[in-house]
């Protein structure tokens, strides 16, 4: 019986890996794999630091499983280059890669070829999305529209005065409709400005 590691990645804390986990567990069961490890990252695919993937690769080098199951090939790597590096290392240490969505299995040469093609298409799609977002931001800027959050309209003197009167950060935040962190930053900036005078 082959030992399987499952790897899930979701892009934000608002998303849940349970859907990926359900599909991967079902696939492992159908193939007769024993699931020995499950790894999850809640992080953008573009981020270089991925603790779950790093742990998976460390365990792979230690021979703790025989096959890696992922929900989709774009879940495991941030670029085609990174994807190929991961696949090359897995192949070098005799660990198979299986993707649920694309139904790819690197146990054979056709699976390896398909993985490279799909990785290239996924990277192209990601780059096109980034370029569309940038183009939209450029257009909005040319049209004079504000991009991003509107700056807070703060009465800094009133915030500092309220603090000097002994009000708590929470009371000041509630009174001015801002966060405690913003109150703290205003007071800290006021103290820094007073120290330089």
Known catalytic residues are 11
Q: Are 28 and 22 in contact (CB under 8 A)?
A: no
**Side-chain half-sphere exposure of 118, counting CA atoms within 13 A:** 22
b/e code 146-185 from CB counts within 10 Å (16+ = b)? eeeeeeeeeeeeebbebbeeebebeebbeebebeeebbee
CA of 112: how far to CAs of 20, 68, 96, in Å?
A: 22, 14, 10
């Amino acid at each position: 019986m082959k030992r399987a590691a499952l790897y899930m990645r979701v892009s934000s804390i608002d998303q849940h890996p349970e859907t990926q986990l359900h599909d991967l567990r079902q696939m492992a069961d159908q193939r007769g794999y024993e699931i020995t490890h499950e790894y999850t990252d809640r992080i953008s695919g573009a981020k270089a630091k991925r603790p779950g993937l790093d742990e998976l690769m460390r365990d792979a080098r230690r021979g703790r499983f025989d096959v890696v199951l992922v929900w989709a090939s774009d879940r495991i790597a941030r670029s085609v280059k990174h994807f190929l590096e991961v696949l090359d290392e897995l192949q070098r240490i005799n660990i198979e890669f299986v993707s649920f969505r694309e139904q790819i299995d690197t146990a054979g040469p056709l699976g390896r070829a398909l993985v490279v093609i799909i990785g290239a298409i996924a990277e192209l799609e990601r780059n096109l999305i980034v370029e569309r977002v940038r183009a939209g931001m450029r257009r909005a800027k040319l049209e004079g529209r504000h991009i991003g959050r509107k700056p807070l309209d703060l009465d800094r003197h009133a915030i500092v005065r309220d603090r000097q009167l002994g009000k708590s950060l929470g009371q000041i935040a509630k009174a001015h409709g801002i966060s405690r962190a913003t109150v703290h930053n205003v007071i800290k900036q006021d103290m820094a400005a007073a120290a330089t005078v």
